[in-house]
Amino acid sequence: MAAVGAEQLGAHRLAGQAPLTERIRAFFAVPLPETNRERLAAYLLACAAAAPAFRWSDPNNLHLTVRFVGSVEREVVEGIADRVEGSTLEISLGEIGTFKRGGLARVVWLGVQHGVDGLTELADRVEAECRAAGLEPEERALKPHLTLARARPRQGAALPALPPLPDLEPWRAGELVLYSSHLGSGGAMHEPIRTVRLTSR
């Protein structure tokens, strides 16, 4: 899985741009700073060796999802991006956790230690614009996290001891990105199509 630029998505997209009337699989997320992404890349390689029963994320796909929209006309979600406002966020990452089914782990994630309130406030702003645009409401409460891995077996897998986390720097997030997610046999590719600049407090 890898993040891609619009120019890599095929000749059917004129000048690297998709028509606004097409349907895309969209979500809003806060990207990671490059330093943390590089440190997590090495960590994920070590995890893949320690826990091969899990499919570990491409580091280019790591992000903090604020609102998953799903299949939607591009012009609708671009309009939402135009209207969203928010303030810069102070974020630091926390500890490893899992979503389980019975005693088996299905998803391995890295939680947010500081910045949950700010992310929740930003998610509420995006949600308000989604509802104003006529989209189905998101009923689940936001639990900010980075998805690090998913179990290969559908029922989940036992998670062995993982390597220690690297030191990850806190950062001030000044961008909210609208992504289009393209599903393929090799996994999902996330294309950034709009960046919302967050204002300084």
- 16 part of a folded domain: no
Please count the structural domains in the chain.
1
Q: Which domain, by its residues, includes 156?
A: 6-11+21-197
Q: For 161-194, write each residue's pLDDT tens digit.
A: 999 999 999 999 999 999 998 876 666 788 999 9
| Least confident range of 10-14, 84-88, 135-139, 165-169 | 10-14
**Average pLDDT of the segment spanning 85-109:** 95
Non-local (6+) Cβ contacts of 125 within 8 A are: 84, 85, 86
- 178 part of a folded domain: yes
Name the residue among 3, 140, 120, 107 with its Cα closest to residue 64.
120
- 1 part of a folded domain: no
| Least confident range of 20-29, 31-40, 45-54 | 20-29
User: Is residue 110 within 8 Å of residue 95, measured between CB atoms?
Assistant: yes
**Average pLDDT of the segment spanning 67-93:** 96
Query: What integer pLDDT is reported at residue 10 of this predicted model?
Result: 38
CATH number at residue 130: 3.90.1140.10
- 42 part of a folded domain: yes
- 34 part of a folded domain: yes
pLDDT class of 66 with cuts at 50, 70, 90: very high
- 104 part of a folded domain: yes
**Predicted confidence (pLDDT) at residue 8 exceeds the cutoff of 80:** no
User: Is residue 94 within 8 Å of residue 111, measured between CB atoms?
Assistant: yes
The partner residues of 97 in beta bridges, in order of sequence, read 109
**Predicted confidence (pLDDT) at residue 6 exceeds the cutoff of 50:** no
Query: What integer pLDDT is reported at residue 186 of this predicted model?
Result: 62
Query: What integer pLDDT is reported at residue 109 of this predicted model?
Result: 98
**Predicted confidence (pLDDT) at residue 155 exceeds the cutoff of 50:** yes
**Predicted confidence (pLDDT) at residue 14 exceeds the cutoff of 80:** no
- 191 part of a folded domain: yes
Distance CA 9, CA 183 (A): 12
